[in-house]
Every structure is written in C-alpha cells, then in structure tokens.
Amino acid sequence: MTSAPQLDALPELPRDSEGPVFREPWEASAFAMAVKLHEAGHFTWPEWAATLSAEINAARERGDPDLGNTYYSHWLAALERLVTEKKIFSSADLTARKEAWGTAYDSTPHGLPVKLPSET
C-alpha cells in the first residue's frame, strides 16, 4: 500500500482517517492499478501526482463543477495518459480492452462476475 506521505502528494484525494475512500468498486480498482504500476516501477509517485493534477486542472478548465464526484474519473484519465505515454499499452490496446470489458459486462447476468473471453 502507498505510504501516508505519498498519499499527501495527491491533490484532493477523497479519504478519511483510515485512508482513501471509494464510492464505487471501479474507483478502488483504478486506485489499485495506479499503485501497482507505480510499485512495478513504471512511473514515480511525483510523476503520478503531477499527471493527476494536470488532469484535474484540465477538467476544471473544461467546466467540471468539481463537486467531488468526478475525482476518480480524473484519476482514470491520468492513469490512461501515463500508460500510453510510457508505452505500457497503446491507445488502440486500451480502446480494445475497454470495448471487450463493455461487451463482457453487458452480456454477464446480474450478480455474476464479469469475465473476459480467453485471449488466444
């Protein structure tokens, strides 16, 4: 898990006394992906914080009302940006993966885990 000083570097992170808080499961997943990619050495934590700050500022410039309900949308945008900039995945790979997840989600009965088809 990310240490407290690293969390302090994140702009406006929704958290309580125990750490980050999430309203939806996807928010926790996005958080975990960023932490794991950082731990794997794909980017530094200051680099992550700067990219997230840039995404938040860009959203504000586009008119995001900043009510606290879009924070993890910005988190995900920053994650996608770093993943493509660092060539971990291409934009085309990300698009294909999103489409595959969307299709799998739409075809999965409620209450069952979403599974991607096996890649060959």
Q: Pick the closest to residue 6 from 16, 19, 17, 21 (CA basis).
A: 19
Entry pTM: 0.76
Query: What band does 10 get if pLDDT is binned at 50, 70 and 90?
Result: confident
Residue 13 has pLDDT above 70, yes or no: yes
Confidence band, pLDDT 50/70/90 cuts, at residue 79: very high
pLDDT at 120: 39
pLDDT digits (tens, 9 = 90+) for 23-52: 888 899 999 999 999 999 999 999 999 999
Domain boundaries, the chain: 22-100
Cα gap 63→19, rounded to integer Å: 29
Using DSSP bridges, classify how beta strands 19-20 and 15-16 pair: parallel, antiparallel or unpaired. Answer: antiparallel
